[in-house]
A = this chain, B = another copy of it.
């Protein structure tokens, strides 16, 4: 029998005792999931403590633990020892970002594309490659991790970014997201924990969710994640890895100074973490800041998986990324590549290699940089943010909202006015931070004029 009467106590969730069936923990989890998805328990709601709910339902409190845990692994909840259990911000909807089913007529500040205006140069490379003799070497099962000369091109591409590696430490996969999937499957297991920025790449959040890998948000400042916070986080729980985008964090655009990278590296080494370093924007930012970013991979080569996608810097439709890893990870990484992809199209890899070797890729990067410059300048006209810590050439900006808004309603209101943009909640790991932002992609509009029209609408909406 319950000891207390709960009639007078307010309890944020009061499931029907009679609805409980055996197994209790499963039916409880089902009820909870239902009440969250149906909106009875809005995001941020603090659920009753395990012991209190258990008492109310007259069951053991660890049975509630189990029900909560089931929902937590689905990403519906977020629990903190000492504070309580809360409904996740992104519990109800998926935050997956894609260009699937966007209204045709909208101005897209949502998905971060890559200034597709430069694709005519890629077309040339496609024609050049396909005119060659010996095309058939690209049409078979051989070289699942890349043809040797393609890996050479990869190394050549990454050398200016500060990567020193040999051909056995590189593999070719199908874009950064694919690289993340491969890496998570190769080196982590369900239940593993990975430290991330409080706001991080939303598709990584979703991927981790589906692999049942737990992301632990670590606070940061204007230079990125805070080493002492990472230290605290590693002390408190068993963390196996860390995900970083030091050159330009998506969504905050923060460029992490080398000093900060070194401090983090020392914490990482001390706690034996595996680093996933996503350097997707590196090539686009080289030579534009006071110092060029030194990859964390070079500080910790034996524990880092470095991902260098060419989809942002060269061409988004030719799905390609290079992964650099240590010899000790090679076996696991190659096997994982095989399980997820078998191989990446050698034809696609060849097109990118051709662009790199011919030097045309550098032209593309230079062109995209100039487009990024113009777009950022225009953005600054509309939204001057003098203290913006983001990288000046970023393909997206992190715009602080003057007053709190309802995230998904705000997004859909703007969409109704013809602009797609994403609220910071989409990128949030766990429960809320005080400040709200918008991520405004500048690289998906076809022209400066379209960008201007979009910014106009955006400004008038704030």
Contact = CB atoms under 8 A, between A and B. Distances in A.
Given A113-B140, A139-B119, A96 B340 contact: no
A98 interface: yes
Contacts of A129: 130
A174 B98 contact: no
Contact of A318 (B139, B318, B339): B139
A348 B348 contact: yes
Contacts of A145: 100
Contacts of A174: 174, 341, 344-345
A450 B312 CA distance: 45
Given A119-B136, A174-B174, A345-B345, A338 B141 contact: no
Nearest to A204: B339
Given A341-B319, A345-B317, A335 B211 contact: no
Interface residues of A, number: 62
Contacts of A175: 341-342
Contacts of A190: 190, 212
A412 interface: no
Nearest to A344: B319
A189 interface: yes
A346 interface: yes
B126 A339 contact: no
A136 B120 contact: yes
A116 interface: yes
A140 B177 CA distance: 16
Can you list the 5 inter-chain pairs with the closest CB atoms, starting with the nearest? A139-B317, A130-B130, A190-B190, A119-B139, A207-B339
Interface of A: 94, 96, 98-100, 111, 113, 116, 119-120, 122-123, 126-127, 129-131, 135-136, 138-145, 174-175, 177-178, 181, 185, 189-190, 203, 206-207, 210-212, 311, 315-319, 334-336, 338-348, 351
